[in-house]
Amino acid sequence: MTSTASEPGSASVLIVDRSEETRDVLRTILETRGLSILEAKRGATGLELLREQHPRVVILDLEVDEGDTTGLQGAYEAESRRDGTCLVMLGKVKGSNRSDDNTSSETRHIIEKPYHYGPLIRTIEQLLEQQDTAA
């Protein structure tokens, strides 16, 4: 579990990915944009950070843990709905709760793999802008 110092009023993003390289690239790009970054390489650790730190956006690689990702995905979806956190899931979404009216397209986004960092960063920035506009 890693976190960088949070400046007052700065937006925070939680990156949950087992790849250190991916976390490093995203952290570097997002920090240059003035964002505070939280990191986890395991799904359970990321869920803890989500509950404790309340980031504005969560980037969740669905392959963060070996095995069935449906439970992990469901836990993140439920927590992000409860917290009003935008959730960006990387990979193929299984057993999606699409019928759940509380999971709106404004808070849950899916980016299939393989992905490019540019569109992912733009998605994060757009989500933060939407939150700022709504506030």
Contact 37/15 with Cβ under 8 angstroms? yes
Domain tally, the chain: 1
pLDDT in tens, 87-122: 999 998 765 444 333 444 557 899 999 999 999 999
Cα–Cα–Cα angle for 36, 114, 77, rounded to 5 degrees: 55
φ, ψ for residue 114, nearest 5 deg: -75, 150
- State the pTM of this model: 0.84
What's the CATH number where 31 sits? 3.40.50.2300
What is the model's pLDDT at position 102?
41
Residue 57's domain spans which residues? 2-134
Q: Among 132, 47, 57, which Cα is nearest to 87's?
A: 57
Omega before 114 cis (within 30°)? yes
